Amino acid sequence: CNPGSSGCVGLTIARLPLGRPVSLHEHMQSITLDVILRAVFGLEEGARMSELRALLVEMLEPPPAIMAFIPVKYLDFPFSPYRTFVKKRDAVDVVLRAVIRARIAAPDPDGADILSLLVAARDDQGQPMTEDELRDELVTMLIAGHETTATALSWTFACLLENPEVGER
């Protein structure tokens, strides 16, 4: 299947091997990323979705654990994991901003995705969100929703496999 296509979720599940252990988490991450790209960003299958998906997968790969324990000032040197992450983050930012600008330029009044709703939102003074605010909100939803939902789905499968009577219901 093509990432983001509506049949992709079912096909991802159908391709899981039977009769042997399998790590579900990476498959669930793939599914949740596709759902987020559609529900939050309003993207459908196409070049923009494929490009953003590929960049997000790269950016979301966990950095070396050492980065969590060392101050950034000691990590910021050429070819460091920190600079690699910043480069990936910046590539995602370029595409996200292009998606945001396109939506602002051609809003969808009937759009039910989060980006469309945020573009249409106004504050107490009637002002729309800035591009930076929109980007920050979208990244927050992506990061918060992607990993937590993939983990919840993985645990759901684990619980269902241990309790087949529940799965049958």
Q: What is the pLDDT of residues 72-113, one digit of tens each?
A: 777 788 888 888 888 999 999 999 999 999 999 999 888 889
pLDDT bin (cut points 50, 70, 90) of residue 4 is very low
pTM of the predicted structure, to 2 decimals: 0.76
Q: Which of 91, 3, 114 is nearest to 50 (CA)?
A: 3
**What distance in Å separates the CA atoms of residue 27 and residue 119, rounded to the nearest whole number?**
31
Q: Rounded mean pLDDT of 33-55?
A: 84
